Structure 1
């Protein structure tokens, strides 16, 4: 995490708390600032996702999945 991320972290935590109190009303969107990412914002806000990251023309959403093989070394 960069130092800029440390500055933003309390705001993200505050918004996550607000999300838990108001389900379905707030969306956290992390955008890289590029023109492609900004052009996707209207569509991203229509998704049923509470948090996404937009990098270029790719939208990322956090997901849990089983690690490869399912066995820890």
Structure 2
């Protein structure tokens, strides 16, 4: 899967949809409009995940696995 809805991003990272929207407004997460829906490219989710790890933010294995499953099918 190349693009994720805000609800999917929130589920992957275990945060609220409001948090995802805030990250988009703050330009910490890239988003585009496709067919009237805001979507986040997979590459930007991966970048955010790497930044979170570098900042020593805990990214649980389950979240990583969920992202991998989402991108594989």
- Does TM-score exceed 0.5, indicating one fold? no
Q: Which has the higher contact order (CA 8 A, sep 6+)?
A: 2
Structure with the higher helix share, 1 or 2: 2
TM-score (norm 1): 0.30
**What TM-score, normalized by structure 2, do the two folds share?**
0.30
